[in-house]
Structure 1
Amino acid sequence: MAFFLSLALWAYLAFWSASELVIDVQPNVISPEITPQLVINCSITNNQVQQTDVIKSLTLSRYNETIKEFDDLFVLNSSTLDLKQLQQFKFSQISFGNLYITLTLNNPSQFDAKVYRCNATGDNAAETSISLFAKKAVEYETSSTAFIEEIRRLKQDKNNCQCSLRSQKSRLQFNGSSEIIRELIEPLTLKCSFTFFNDDNQKTSTLQSLFILHETKGVIAYINKGQPVVTAMEEVKSKNVKGEIYQNKLKDSYLQVTWTNLKLSDSGKYFCEAHVQYLEGRSEKFNEMLTITVQSPTLNDLVNVIQKVITHVEEDKASIQLSKQNVENIREDVNTHHQDIKTIRKEKERNKENITGIKEVLDTITHNMMSIRVDTNNTITMLNKDMDTNARNIKIMREDIHGNLTKLREDLDTNEQLQINLQKNLKMEVANISTDLSELRNQMVEELSEMRNNIERFISNVNSTQALYPKRLDKAPNSCRQVKSTKDRVVVTLASGLKVMCDTTTDGGGWIIIQRRINGELDFFRGWNEYRDGFGDHNIGEFYLGNENIFLLTSRKQQELRFDLKYKNRHYFARYSDFKLFGEKDKYQLKIGRYSGNAGDSMKRHHNLFFTTFDKDNDNDNNKNCADARHGAWWYDDCADVNLNGRWGRSEPDGAFWDNVTVWDSVSFSEIKIRENE
């Protein structure tokens, strides 16, 4: 049990340690003429903080000792990334992005040695506003003590790291392109990289930031977890600085700086510093040091540079010659375009004449609009008069209504008394009816007994008659194939007793129509039981035969299926060689065979699917009931390419559509029919 509790605690701490509000200052002690820059960074790691679901803004503030409050310096809107600057700084740079603000103050003074605050504002899961704060203080020293102590600390950390790195779980590497650089000739590249050795270290610690510093010039560049690289030297362009702190600790995190035109003053000790945060709350810094010497160039160095410059000049000459040729080509193109411009000018003159004609038409329209405005004003005047008359009539009607209400109240009082009398009479009538019903029930029992005897005698007589006449003279048809008529649609009763409408002409006739829609008079948005038993009227021409009847027809003999549609006065059909509908226990599953026709095989998607209504969901959509969404009933997938039982006359996804023909428009005629295979 203790193991699971500790495991849960570790997971909780690991999550929040990876997501926090951070404010960092470099350095935290400034001195006059020694500290070249002060960098204040306000950020949110992993784009979220504890107890806050939605982060609205990030604010960087500085403490004002006069009014004993924090003054807001910058406010970042997290949704629009708009930065509002509330105070101006003479020598500074500001950078910002997704949930971070970085302020760099050049040559900071005693006034800048304040307490800085980072404030994140947002909402929690209950949409309650929450503000979280993080603070860091910057101290001021008038002597060089702070700087000397920092260099001493870096050197001491360097010696300690060299002695103990072999036994530690992580390693910091600091490399330079060369330890000796020629002044104003050779570039310098410094790369600071951090490696995790051990799986345990990956679970209990995270790398928060990397810094590259100079012993006299301070911070050169740095990177915080989850934020871009920031350079603090004007000589170093942003494109020459790159770095990444990886969440995947299988990769080495790094910070790399490259700059040219180095001077003798750039000589000295450079430091690489890594800040690591552990799960239990403690933090640790790792340091490495390089000594870089910038030397004045020799005569040979200058000769080599001149040779390279001469080579570049020759290459530039060739490039200029090629550019001259390109200019000649462009000049020819310009002459061609000049001719085109003349043609366009002529066309413009013709357009001016057309515009003059259009202006005359507009003047006429303006005159007509003035006339319409006068007529409209006259109409409004008449309407105002009518409104005054109507107001008087409404006042008279209100008085009449008041009188009628008074009379109605009197009538209600009279009716209440009548209702009391009726209730008394009703109770008496109910008692009398109960007595009569008892007598009637006894009489009906006797009559039913006598009727049972008569029926038994009738059945006996019928059986005798059937024995004498075994063959029927007039046999009902078993299917519409046996029905012949001069009419193209005829209603018959089959030998099974099922009343159907037959199509006697289409494709040779013999079709049983199982669905028909011609004008939208009948609502097809119905439940499971109605689609099971069938609904509609053959006389009005709109009906659904019923899934149970269709199942019985297809279970007796193999059938083929046909759809006849009309859309924009054109006829379309789709025919399927085999058709079968399973019973209710199988959710009226649909099986169709090979397609032919001119409507497109839109039913292919619905093969092998189950029937769905708004009160019985058998479709493949886990998020909604397609019968509700499509306002119909069908063999829905998620949802449909065919929806012929949908809303009539709609041009939306809930219309009666056939995708290959109408897309989402509704058809203007629909018949679904089946026929026994020969």
Structure 2
Amino acid sequence: MWTTSLVLLLVTLLFSACSESSSHFFHSDTLNDDAPVKPSKSTVSAKGWDTCSIPCDITVKLLRDEKHSICGQLQQSLLAFGRSTRKLMRDVMEEQQRALEILSAQVAELMTKVQTLSSEVQRSNTEMYTIKPAQSHGRDCSDIRDNLLAVVPKIPSGIYIINPENTESSFEVFCEMDYMGGGWTVMQRRTDGLTDFKRSWGDYSDGFGNLAGEHWLGLKKVFQIVSQKDTRFQLHVALVSKDDITSYASYDDFQLDNETQFFGLHLGRYAGSAGDAFRGYDQDQNQDTAPFSSSDVDNDGCNPSCSFSNRTVESCSALHNQTGWWFNQCGLANLNASPQDTDSSQRASILWETWRQNGVPLDIKAVTMKIRRIPTNN
């Protein structure tokens, strides 16, 4: 502030001195170029203040020195400002980098927690019923129910170990004990679409999936169950549509041929509300007595191809996205059907085409196939 005031004072004095000197120089009656000019000693301002007249050359020198001083100070200020600005920007970038590293560490930690939680949820789904399989209580779930009813009032659904009669093998099955009287051995379940049913003959023969969730028990195991002496089994198909409508189809007799005959299907009388899709509407659609087919074992009766709906089909399994079923040119039922990966024009989901609403087949989101002993007339 004092520098600015000094500059203004010097400028004022300069103009005052220069004005007086000019007036004296131009209006003097004895003007002489060679005569020295004597500066006046003092003047009185209009307000009565005493001021000193400073020669112009001294004033210019003072102004020049002051200008150089101001420029130097300004340059130093600019340099200091530039250094502080660069330091500030560097500090901000370093702070952002530290914040980014902290955020990355938090994201990595969160991902680890999500993976851990996902594993725990999956394990929880696996253990949602019986955490540890019970020891074998019978030949099948119906036999387990009959044996346990004498000692416990309510038998829980869950995973049990069975040992079918006249076999040396024991294996785990899921028993439904709270559905229509219980005693049901689940041979197939579809609920969430997480299990891939695009499988080869070996998988359909041995079984796959999670017994507490989606699974296919396996044709060998089902054959051992239904082939026990002095037994007869019924098949029950429970369906749930995408609109949560329920329906069922039941057969009072269910049998399978052995593996050398490709586990051919044999069904008894139908009852239910979903229609008899296994037999269809005419003999060409009848899947009863059909052998099982898969993507690598073709028993579907299309030799060399089948024609329906203005289409030519060489493999029913290929038509149904490489899934396995009791196909017969190709039929109206495939509870193992899988959504197509690319070709939306092909059949796309679980099929039971006799279950209709207003003449249109319902979209099925869940299905369970289960078998249970029924009394024999011996």
Q: TM-score, normalized by length of structure 1?
A: 0.29
SS of structure 1 residue aligned to 2:275 = coil
- Quick one: structure 1 residues 475 and 606, their matched pair in 2 at CA, closer, same or farther if it must change by over 3 Å? closer
Partner of 2:288: 607
Q: What does residue 203 of structure 2 align with? A: 530
Query: Which amino acid in the other structure matches residue 599 of structure 1?
Result: A
1:630 Cα offset (Å): 1.0
Match of 2:223 in 1: 551
Superposed, 1:575-586 pairs within 5 Å as: 575-586=250-261
Q: What is the DSSP-based 3-state SS (H/G/I as helix, E as strand, rest coil) of the residue aligned with 2:185?
A: strand
Deviations 1:153-206 (A, max 9, x none): xxxxxxxxxxxxxxxxxxxxxxxxxxxxxxxxxxxxxxxxxxxxxxxxxxxxxx
Q: Normalized per residue, which structure has more helix? A: 1
Write the distance in 2 (CA, Å) between the matches of 1:646 and 1:560: 23
Deviation at 1:660, TM superposition (A): 1.2
Q: Which consecutive unaligned segments of at least 5 residues does structure 1 have?
A: 1-473
Partner of 2:320: 630
> 1-side partners of 2:160 and 2:333: how far apart?
29
Aligned to 2:367: 670
Distance 1:593 1:519, change over 3 A: same
The residue that corresponds to 1:565 in the other structure is 239
Q: Which structure 2 residues correspond to residues 36-435 of structure 1 after superposition, within 5 A?
A: none
* 1:581-640 deviation line (CA, Å, top 9, x unaligned): 111101110000000010101112210101000101001112211011112211101112
Q: What is the CA distance between 1:642 and its match in structure 2?
A: 0.7
Q: State the partner residue of 1:478.
A: 139
1:393 aligned partner = none
Give the Cα–Cα distance (whole angstroms) in 2 for the partners of residues 665 and 573 of structure 1.
13
Q: Residues 516, 475 of structure 1: CA spacing in aligned structure 2 closer, same or farther, 3 A cutoff?
A: closer
Q: Contact between 1:629 and 1:654, CA under 8 Å: does it hold in 2?
A: no
**Partner in structure 2 of residue 617 of structure 1:** 298
For residue 214 of structure 2, what is the aligned residue in structure 1? 542
Letter in 1 for 2:251: Y
Closer/same/farther in 2, CA of residues 634 and 603 from structure 1, 3 Å limit: same
The answer for the alignment partner of 1:324 in structure 2 is none
Please give the alpha-carbon distance, in whole angstroms, between the structure 2 residues aligned to 1:548 and 1:660.
29
Mapped contact 2:136–2:162 kept (Cα < 8 A): no
1:504 is displaced (CA, Å) by 0.9
User: How far apart, CA to CA, are the structure 1 residues paired with 2:364 and 2:157?
Assistant: 20
SS at match of 1:637: coil
Aligned pair count reads 204
In structure 2, the CA distance between the partners of 1:475 and 1:626, relative to structure 1 (3 Å rule), is closer
Does the residue aligned with 2:204 lie in a helix, a strand or coil? helix
Q: Could you say if the C-alpha distance between residues 477 and 601 of structure 1 is closer, same or farther in structure 2, counting changes exceeding 3 Å?
A: same
- Judged with a 3 Å threshold, the aligned counterparts in structure 2 of structure 1 residues 508 and 619 are, in CA distance, closer, same or farther, namely same
Aligned residue in 2 for 1:498: 171
Change (3 A) 1:592 1:585: same
- Per the alignment, residue 157 of structure 2 pairs with 489
- Inter-CA distance 551–495: structure 2 relative to 1 (3 Å threshold): closer
Q: C-alpha distance in 2, partners of 1:495/1:625?
A: 36
Cα distance in 1 for residues equivalent to 2:346 and 2:366:
17
Q: Tell me the residue number matched to 2:3.
A: none
One-letter code of the match for 2:337? G
In structure 2, what is the Cα distance between the partners aligned to 1:654 and 1:588? 25
SS in 2 for 1:549: helix
SS in 2 for 1:508: coil
Structure 1, residues 7-26: CA drift from partner, whole Å, max 9, x if none? xxxxxxxxxxxxxxxxxxxx
Q: Distance in 2 between matches of 1:488 and 1:572?
A: 24
Q: In the superposition, relative to structure 1, how do residues 665 and 633 fare at CA in structure 2: closer, same or farther (>3 Å)?
A: farther
User: What is the distance in 1 between the residues matched to 2:332 and 2:319?
Assistant: 13
Aligned to 2:349: 655
Amino acid at match of 1:480: C
In the TM superposition, residue 654 of structure 1 has moved relative to its aligned partner by 3.7
Q: Counterpart of 1:606 in 2: which secondary structure? A: coil
Displacement of 1:665: 5.5
Letter in structure 2 aligned against 1:644: L
CA distance in 2, matches of 1:644, 1:476: 30
- Deviation of 1:554 (Å): 1.1
* Correspondence 1:640 to 2:331: yes
- Contact 2:200–2:296 (Cα < 8 Å) also in 1: yes
* Structure 1 contact 518–670 (Cα < 8 Å) conserved: yes
> SS state of the match for residue 603, structure 1?
coil
Deviation string for 1:59-116 (max 9, x for gaps)? xxxxxxxxxxxxxxxxxxxxxxxxxxxxxxxxxxxxxxxxxxxxxxxxxxxxxxxxxx
Quote how far apart the aligned CAs of 1:487 are. 6.6
8 Å contact 2:140–2:225 — kept in the other structure? no
Amino acid at match of 2:174: M
Kept in 2: contact 1:565–1:669 (CA 8 A): yes
Write the distance in 1 (CA, Å) between the matches of 2:248 and 2:207. 24
Q: Distance in 2 between matches of 1:602 and 1:526?
A: 23
Q: Is contact 1:641–1:658 with CA below 8 Å preserved after alignment?
A: yes
Describe the shift of the 1:665–1:598 C-alpha distance in structure 2 as closer, same or farther (beyond 3 A). closer
Post-superposition offset of 1:476: 2.1
Q: Distance in 2 between matches of 1:651 and 1:673?
A: 31
Identity %: 30
Higher RCO, Cα 8 Å, sep 6+: 2
C-alpha change, 1:569 and 1:617, in structure 2 (3 Å) is: same
Q: Residue 502 of structure 1 aligns to which amino acid in structure 2? A: C
* Cα distance, 1:645 vs structure 2: 0.5
**Residue 235 of structure 2 contacts residue 370 of structure 2 at CA under 8 Å; is this kept in 1?**
yes
Code of the aligned partner of 2:331: A
**Post-superposition shift, 1:664?**
6.0
Contact 2:354 2:361 in 1 (8 A): no
**Which secondary structure state, in structure 2, belongs to the residue aligned with residue 506 of structure 1?**
coil
- Three-state SS of the structure 2 residue aligned to 1:513 is strand
Quote how far apart the aligned CAs of 1:492 are.
0.5
Give the superposed CA RMSD.
Answer: 2.2
Richer in strand (by share): 1
Q: Could you tell me how far 1:648 is from its partner in structure 2?
A: 4.5
C-alpha contact 2:270 2:276 (8 A) present in aligned 1: yes
TM-score, with length taken from structure 2 = 0.51
- Deviation of residue 666 (structure 1)? 4.1
Partners of 2:204 and 2:291 in 1: how far apart? 13
SS in 1 for 2:220: helix
- Structure-2 separation of matches of 1:610 and 1:592: 13
Are 2:136 and 2:161, in contact at CA under 8 Å, matched by a contact in 1? Answer: no
The 8 Å contact of residues 651 and 666 in structure 1, kept in 2 or not, is answered as no
1:592 to 255, 261, 267: 267
Kept after mapping to 2: 8 A contact 1:564/1:671: yes
